[in-house]
Every structure is written in C-alpha cells, then in structure tokens.
Structure 1
Amino acid sequence: MKKVLVIEDELDTAQCLDYLMNDLGYEFIQSQIILTPAEIIKIKPDVIILDYYLPNGHGDKLCLALKSNLLTKDIPVILMSAHNNLKDISKGCDADAYLEKPFDLNKLIQIVTRYATI
C-alpha cells in the first residue's frame, strides 16, 4: 500500500485528505508540524503533501532540504497553500507539483495519483 504523508496544521483540511487518501487506497500519515528529513526517512512515504504555512516554519524550507538529501530527493513533494505566489515558491524549492487552496478535489486526486505511481 502506498503511503501519503500529509504535513498540514489545519485539521479540517487534514481530515478531508485523510478520507480521500483512504478512499483511493493509500495509507494516510499526518503531521501538524514540519518533520526532519530523518523522521521522514523513517516513515518512508511515497508522496508528501506539504502545506506552506506551518506553526514551526515554512514548507518550502523542508521541501528544499528533502530535495537536497540523497535519501529523500526522489520522494515527490506537492506544496499546498493559499499563498498568491505559490507557483514561484514551489519552483524555488524544487517541489514536484503545487496545489492552490482552496483546492479542487479532482485536481488533487490527479496529482497524487500521478506521483504515487512513480
């Protein structure tokens, strides 16, 4: 079973993603704060959905750290936010994709399915 790690502090959004990922047949793992690359390596996610604004920092910094690490660089990261400059932010941190909030569920399904099968 493919694992989707969601790093999101908004509980309503996380719960929505939980239901959706389970319906798609993915194992859902959630954190409300930024994890270290070492913690992410232990989880072994197939895809990471990463919020930009988190209580302990910005998701783009974690994404850049993951993409710079030989052990995590190949894990697809989908950066998610309502930030109006998300496209440029995701490009700057080497995110594989981005998703603007509020997001369209069909677009989310399409992106996650695409990267979970890599």
Structure 2
Amino acid sequence: MKRKILITENNADSKFLLFSLLKGLYDISFENDVGYLLTGNFEKPDLFILNSYVSESSILAVCKQLKANARLKDVPILIISGSADIEHMMKACPGDDFIRKPFGKSTLLAKIATVIQRKATSLNPGINSTGT
C-alpha cells in the first residue's frame, strides 16, 4: 500500500514537477484551498507537503492549525520554500522538515523518507529503520 501525500501547491509548474517526481511512488493529491485543508474533512495522509506561500494565510498559521487538530497532529509536515529567509521560517514554524527550492528528485525523496520514518519511529519506538 502506497503512502498518501497531500500537497498544497498552486503553481502549475511546481505541481507538474512534484507530480512527475512522486507519481508511482506515493498516492498523491493536491489541494489549493487552504481553508479546506484546515477543516480536516479528507482522508488522513501520511505526509503534508506545503508550499511556504499558501494563499490567504501564513504558513506558520497553517502549520499551527494542523498541529492543533487532534486527528492530524501526528501527520508530518514538509515545507517547500524558495524564500531567502528560510532559516527564520525553520525556527518559527512547527513543520517537521524544510526543503529549499530549487531541489532535485533525490533530495525530495530523501526528505520525504526521513520525515515519514522519523514520525513512524516516534509513534512506535520499538520499530527500527528496517521496520522490525
């Protein structure tokens, strides 16, 4: 069973890139409406990938609301940013990891695997990196 990733991205080129890099490896879906994302009325993903430039809301507010949602608080968040001020964002935002634009496939896949594994290990401390 493929892990589910819910991605917020409104740039068509970035969407296409993410889709191209992740198709076949993960069950991916895109959501442009941050308001819908914050309702939590969707199938719980294994990972959120959020663009740091979400419309109508700051990434900090979105992350805090997702982490405050009892059903979604354990879902890791990977934030993609092209911001020159990513270091400040990393300190202020409760995301689980960050990736700077531009990025390559190997960097993206490594970040995804690390974040998902870290979360699985924290929820099930008896599981090691081999899944046993």
TM-score range, shorter chain: 0.7 to 0.9
TM-score by length of 2: 0.78
TM-score by length of 1: 0.86
Offset at 1:91? 2.9
C-alpha root-mean-square deviation of aligned residues, in Å? 1.7
**Structure with larger Rg:** 2
Partner of residue 7, structure 1:
8
Partner of residue 16, structure 1:
17
C-alpha contact (below 8 Å) 1:60/1:90 kept by paired residues: no
Q: Which runs of 5+ in 1 are unaligned?
A: none
Identity %: 25
For residues 35-46 of structure 1, the aligned pairs below 5 Å read 35-39=36-40, 41-46=41-46
User: Deviating runs (4+, > 4 A) in structure 1?
Assistant: none
In structure 1, distance between residues paired with 2:87 and 2:46: 22
Which structure ranks higher in relative contact order (CA pairs < 8 Å, sequence separation ≥ 6)? 1
Offset at 1:23? 3.2
Offset at 1:85? 1.6
Deviations 1:23-68 (A, max 9, x none): 32x10100123134323x5221100110111232222211111112
SS at match of 1:109: helix
* More strand as a share of residues: 1
In structure 1, distance between residues paired with 2:4 and 2:29: 7
For residues 65-104 of structure 1, the aligned pairs below 5 Å read 65-104=65-104
In structure 2, distance between residues paired with 1:87 and 1:73: 23
In structure 2, distance between residues paired with 1:69 and 1:44: 12
Offset at 1:110? 0.2
In structure 1, distance between residues paired with 2:116 and 2:18: 15
